[in-house]
């Protein structure tokens, strides 16, 4: 049992559409409700699958399929479950509501990046490498999640026009035509006071004639969570397609819009954690962010990219480097909310020993270095890969 009622708000307020049109409890729990390509909105939203979960959560019970959030909380991190309770605190005593107020719609896997911690299901750019490695989700690079967008709007439009928040993620949402069509639908129906929230690589502000700033300026509340794991060359190494200079230019392009909140949202993985303090400090120095504009996403799978897989002696070195960062942070009045996130990264990393996956990380790194004809000296220095490999 749990002191919070309901245990999780998702099945009461949230509607998530993912790969192949599957509607699930959220983006991390494999709890299926139905498929938006085969069923109506009402069939899914009022069906037995979602009602069973609601009943369980009303009793303060968790579900074994919620393991991602539960494990993250146990390890000292903040889960999507906890974050949703914070952001939608008015619904903590929630009983029944006719429509969801929080949407997460993944239109397709269209993306111009092939980040090392990603996969074909979330990026079309992964296809050329994933197919020969037998890691592809389908036989084409582009995978459409919603087959008939007009029908989707007809089924979901009434609920969308009552939404308090729509979250867009990837693929890369700014490279999805359906995303722009949906924004225009909201504008045409004068539903522009909701929150638009994005997880985006922030590499493009124009797509097929669509100027995103022309859309965003018509909404009251826009939040950008920019997926950047490191700065300069290391950032470009982790996220294939990333260009540090272009990223900074795009940041400048939205500065005049005060209603657009901009944060960096690094994925905390084996590849990024050691450089995290320098990323934050660099973004502050260049005025890319304000002190509080920081939002972490701790990666769990694949396990060879999970920070728990780092060998103990390297974990110790990373923890010590963070102690130095804390001293700098105190001298520079960095908000406690940011410091807590850094602490969560270390607590999570040290919560469990998954170093049995370290060899798989080294192997994966070597494989993709060869495939992409890349090499990161920064990464080798940070993790002593050559030395560690010879001693393993």
Q: Tell how strand 22-24 and strand 165-168 pair up.
A: unpaired
Residue 159's nearest CA partner among 45, 315, 273, 11 is 45
Q: Is residue 372 part of a domain?
A: yes
Say whether both 297 and 166 belong to one domain.
Answer: yes
pLDDT of residue 53: 94
Full domain range(s) for residue 39: 14-97
| Residues 69 and 197 both lie in one domain | no
Q: What is the pLDDT, as a whole number, of residue 387?
A: 45
Structurally, the chain folds into a number of domains equal to: 2
Interval 236-285: pLDDT, tens: 999 999 999 999 999 999 999 999 999 999 999 999 999 999 999 999 99
Same domain, 121 and 54: no
Q: Quick check: is 283 in a domain?
A: yes
Please name the residues in contact with 336: beta carbons below 8 A apart, sequence gap of 6 or more.
Answer: none
Does residue 255 sit within a domain? Answer: yes
Report the alpha-carbon distance of residue 278 to residue 318 in Å, rounded.
Answer: 12
Size of the chain, expressed as the number of residues it contains: 392
Is 391 a domain residue?
A: no
**pLDDT of res. 390:** 38
**pLDDT at position 256, please?**
94
Domain end, chosen from 74, 97, 120, is at 97
Shared domain check, 369 and 291: yes
Asked whether residue 355 is domain-assigned, the answer is yes
Do 151 and 292 have their domain in common? Answer: yes
374 within some domain = yes
Under 8 Å CB-to-CB from 361, ≥6 apart: which residues? 270, 304, 305, 309
- Say whether both 79 and 175 belong to one domain: no
The answer to whether residue 389 sits within a structural domain is no
- pLDDT for the residue 80: 92
CATH of the domain at 373: 3.20.20
- Note whether 50 and 194 are same-domain residues: no
The widest CA-to-CA distance across the chain, in whole angstroms, is 63
Same domain, 208 and 352: yes
In a domain, 388, yes or no: no
**Alpha-helical runs (H) found in the chain:** 10-13, 41-45, 48-58, 67-74, 80-87, 127-130, 149-160, 177-188, 212-216, 232-238, 244-253, 276-285, 312-331, 336-350, 358-372, 377-383, 385-391
Examine the domain organization and report whether 79 and 114 are in the same domain: no
Residues 112, 229 share a domain: yes
Positions of the chain with pLDDT under 50:
1, 93, 385-392
Q: Which of 59, 74, 97 is the last residue of a domain?
A: 97
Site of tokens 């994005």: 198
Same structural domain for residues 278 and 376?
yes
Closest of 329, 323, 327, 259 to residue 294, by C-alpha = 329
Same domain for 36 and 128, yes or no, is no
- The DSSP secondary structure of 68-133, one letter per residue, reads HHHHHHHTTPPPHHHHHHHHTGGGTT----SS-SEEEE--B---S-EETT--GGG-GGGHHHHTTT
**Domain stop point among 39, 70, 97:** 97
């Amino acid at each position: 049992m749990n002191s919070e009622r309901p245990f999780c708000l998702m099945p009461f307020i949230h509607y998530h559409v993912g790969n192949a049109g599957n509607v699930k409890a959220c983006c991390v729990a494999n709890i299926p409700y139905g498929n938006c390509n085969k069923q109506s909105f009402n069939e899914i939203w009022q069906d037995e699958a979602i009602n069973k979960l609601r009943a369980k959560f009303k009793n303060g019970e968790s579900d074994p399929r919620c393991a991602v959030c539960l494990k993250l909380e146990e390890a000292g991190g903040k889960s999507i479950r906890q974050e949703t309770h914070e952001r939608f605190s008015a619904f903590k005593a929630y009983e029944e509501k006719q429509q969801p107020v929080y949407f997460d719609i993944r239109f397709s896997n269209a993306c111009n990046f092939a980040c090392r911690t990603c996969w074909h299901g979330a990026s079309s750019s992964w296809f050329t490498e994933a197919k020969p490695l037998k890691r592809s989700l389908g036989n084409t690079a582009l995978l459409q999640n919603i087959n008939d967008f007009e029908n989707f709007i007809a089924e979901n439009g009434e609920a969308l026009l009552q939404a308090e928040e729509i979250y867009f993620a990837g693929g890369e949402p700014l490279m999805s035509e359906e995303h722009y069509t949906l924004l225009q639908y909201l504008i045409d129906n004068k539903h522009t006071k909701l929150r638009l929230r994005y997880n985006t690589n922030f590499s493009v502000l124009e797509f097929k004639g669509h100027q995103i700033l022309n859309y965003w300026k018509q909404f009251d509340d826009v939040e950008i969570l920019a997926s950047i794991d490191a700065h300069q060359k290391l950032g470009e190494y982790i996220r294939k397609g990333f260009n540090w200079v272009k990223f900074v230019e795009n940041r400048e392009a939205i500065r005049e819009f005060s209603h657009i909140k901009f944060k960096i949202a690094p994925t905390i993985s084996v590849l990024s954690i050691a450089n995290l303090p320098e990323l934050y400090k660099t973004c502050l120095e260049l005025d890319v962010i304000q002190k509080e504009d920081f939002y972490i996403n701790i990666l769990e799978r694949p396990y060879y990219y999970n920070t728990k897989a780092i060998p103990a002696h390297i974990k110790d070195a990373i923890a010590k480097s963070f102690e130095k960062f804390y001293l700098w942070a105190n001298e520079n009045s960095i908000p406690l909310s940011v410091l807590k996130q850094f602490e969560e990264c270390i607590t999570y990393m040290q919560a469990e020993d998954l170093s049995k996956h370290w060899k798989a990380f080294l192997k994966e790194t070597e494989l993709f270095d060869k495939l992409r004809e890349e090499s990161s000296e920064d990464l080798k220095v940070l993790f002593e890969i050559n030395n560690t490999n010879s001693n393993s």
